Amino acid sequence: MKNNRSSIPGRAIALAISVCVLAMARPALAATPAETFVTGNIQTGLAILGNAHLTPAQHRAQFQIFLLGITDMKRIAIFTLGKYAAGASAADQDAFASAFQNYAVAVYRSYFERYTGQTMTVLRSTQRAPGDFIVVTNMVDKSGQPPLEIDFRVRTDGAKTVITDFSVAGIWLALAEQADFGAVLAKNGGSIPGLIQHLNTTASQY
């Protein structure tokens, strides 16, 4: 009987080459709509904050217009109320959403100002549920520091695509705010006006 062992290495090499060729020939996966949304919009926001030709007032105004255009601020606001949202009147919810918007613009601007001049790279995205995605990105600066992971939660199931939360180094901002606001509400007997006053005071410090 003829020994075929000598042909096995050759077959293995041929198979490996074939796999490599197929992998190289396979087109790169197209970016998802959520990834494309994050890539374009976050770079736009960073460009606004990094524009040295704008005054501080112009930075604030343009960033507010930008942020409100890519987020569902009312949805985020009601989420941060947690269990207290169900017991809040419609008037209190609206008043809180208005105060939260001013607060969020100030807080989000302070976060993004830290990354002006950096380059954002989208790494991947995962779908939590239909129309609900987590987009994972890296922020890379020119100083050679290790990349910082910033993730965005993106909803594509509404009238327009929006960002509903983002995390820095694993900490989700809206979840953190929900915990902070819950502590304030627990101390003041669940008073939404009291929380609104707290937000206004905090926003004025940015």
The residues, ordered by sequence, that sit 6+ positions from 14 with a Cβ below 8 Å of its Cβ are: none
Please, how many CA atoms are within 13 Å of residue 47, restricted to the half-sphere of its CB?
A: 7
Q: Could you report the per-residue pLDDT of 26-54, keeping only the tens digit for each?
A: 344 568 899 999 998 988 998 998 899 99
Q: What is the C-alpha to C-alpha distance for residues 126 and 135, in angstroms, rounded to an integer?
A: 7
Q: Could you report the per-residue pLDDT of 155-193, keeping only the tens digit for each?
A: 999 889 999 999 988 899 999 999 999 999 999 999 999
- Would you state the structure tokens that stand for residue 79, as one six-digit string? 């989420």
Task: Quickly name the fold that domain 33-203 has.
Answer: Nuclear Transport Factor 2; Chain: A, (3.10.450)
The residues, ordered by sequence, that sit 6+ positions from 151 with a Cβ below 8 Å of its Cβ are: 134, 135, 136, 137, 166, 167
In degrees to the nearest 10, what's the CA dihedral of 44, 158, 175, 191? 110
Q: Please give the pLDDT value at position 28.
A: 47
Mean pLDDT on 123-142: 92
Largest CA distance in the chain: 91
When pLDDT is cut at 50, 70 and 90, the band that residue 73 belongs to is very high
**In the predicted structure, residue 25 carries a pLDDT above the cut 80:** no
When pLDDT is cut at 50, 70 and 90, the band that residue 84 belongs to is very high
What is the DSSP code (8-state) at residue 105? H
Q: Please give the pLDDT value at position 29.
A: 57
**In the predicted structure, residue 108 carries a pLDDT above the cut 60:** yes
The radius of gyration of the chain from alpha carbons, rounded to an integer in Å, stands at 24
**In the predicted structure, residue 81 carries a pLDDT above the cut 60:** yes
